[in-house]
Amino acid sequence: MKQLISLLLLLTVISNAKAYQIKSGDNVVINTPFYDNLYVAGGTVTIDAPIYGDLIIAGGNITINDSVANDVLLAGGTATINGNVGDDIRCAGGQMYVRKNVGGELFVTGGRIEIDKDVIVNKGLMSSGGNIIVNGTIKGNANAFGGNIVFNGIAEKGLDCRGGQIEMNGTVMGKTILAAQQIAIGNNASFNNDVRYWDRRGTLDFRQSVKNGSAIFDPSLKVTSGEWYFFGFATIIGLLWYVGMALLMIALVQYLFSRTMQKSAETVFNTAVKSAGYGLLFLISVPIATIILMVTVIGIPIAIMLASAYIMLILLSTVITSVVASNWINNRYKSNWKYRHLVFTAFGVFIVLKVVSYTPFFGPLVMLALVCTAFGAILLNINWKRKQQNNIVHEEPIEYAT
């Protein structure tokens, strides 16, 4: 699960004068209070004690059961926030569940996002993803962009929803924008100001749901399947969020696994074909192994964990490949770059790879070859005979001059 370690470092570099502590491992449990900023990374991460600073956390399965006094910055496969957060939450991942109050703004992107009924978000909501369900109260402006959106909560200011399908059963006090292929207005929907909307079928009957103002069909809001909403980007803000998360992930991978990335780059330089072969074998064999494990009852839990780790690794494949490429460039030209130079070079490579990946036919083939080569090189540099102690494996970070 180490490949999932994504978020920690950029803030560490920016604010290295502040006190902080780092915890990492396959299974990390925090059961004593922390009075500094806490950086956590691992396969499974559980927070069972209050954090009185910021919490920066990354992992495959994340559960926050106690309060966080300041900000939460999070990336993971599945994340459940069961404790109150005093300030902002910035999170991204596969499944995101918010069960307690948020003192600041909630900025979340993921495959599935759920905000519980009793949750109060004291500032704005910016969300983008495949499935978004909002049941709580948003005291600021609420924004949701994704494939399927269900709004059952309360937006005390404005609401802007755009995507594939929208189901409205909540209350909006300010102005509302609805734009989707299909909009459903439920019996409990209530709009206390003007509503501008676009639906593929044309005008809609809002019945008695518009209490003040009027519902106006606006063709300029037209949504098509090729727009950013279906790629997880709602607006330019969503795009910037995505790019920022990519930079954070690159920074963390380079920080915690600098030796492995450097060695992997050397392996690519010396045995690129062999690395690509190992990487391709890995990409093919893991799904096959998962299917085989699913056949047996005993193997089902292992198969689920293996599949989750594999999916998250694929999601981070461009990030990992970019870091390996940055180290390869450094080794190739003997540049002796510092940490920051490696990170921003990797970030530049990431942008280039994203552009290349959208090139028809040619792009996916190039990406497959590069990802296989990077993954294979990393596999060739893993010490498979190394023993674990207390089920926690650490790779000590290197300190860089800033």
Digit-coded pLDDT (tens) for 287-339 = 888 788 776 656 667 777 777 677 778 878 889 999 999 999 988 888 788 88
Helical ranges in 8-88 per DSSP H:
9-14
- pLDDT surpassing 60 at residue 18: no
Confidence tier at 374 by pLDDT (50, 70, 90): very high
Using a pLDDT cut of 70, give the percent of the chain over it: 82
Are 213 and 173 spatial neighbours (Cβ–Cβ below 8 Å)? no
pLDDT, position 204:
94
225 pLDDT more than 70: no
pLDDT in tens, 164-219: 899 999 999 999 999 999 999 999 999 999 999 999 999 999 999 999 899 999 99
Give helix 258-270 / helix 362-380 axis angle, nearest 10°: 110
- Asked whether the predicted pLDDT for residue 360 surpasses 50, the reply is yes
**Is the pLDDT confidence value at 81 over 60?**
yes
**Rounded to the nearest 5°, which phi and psi values hold at 44?**
-125, 125
Mean pLDDT, rounded, for 66-80? 88
Angle at CA of residue 236, ends 146 and 119, nearest 5°? 50
| Residue pointed to by tokens 């309360």 | 154
Cα(49)–Cα(34) distance, integer angstroms: 8
The CA–CA distances, whole Å, from 70 to 50, 52, 103 equal 11, 7, 9
Indicate the helix (H) or strand (E) that contains 198: strand 195-199
Please tell me the pTM assigned to this model.
0.60
Quote the mean pLDDT of the chain.
82
Q: Does 230 have pLDDT greater than 50?
A: no
Contact 49, 33 (CB under 8 A): yes
Mean pLDDT of 21-28: 76
Q: Which residue has tokens 């924004």? A: 143
> What pLDDT is recorded for position 16?
39
Mean pLDDT for 8-20 is 40
What is the rounded average pLDDT of the residues 74-88? 89
For residue 253, the model assigns a pLDDT of: 84
Tell me the two tokens of residue 260: 């492995």
Interval 362-367 mean pLDDT: 84
What does the pLDDT average to over 36-65?
A: 87
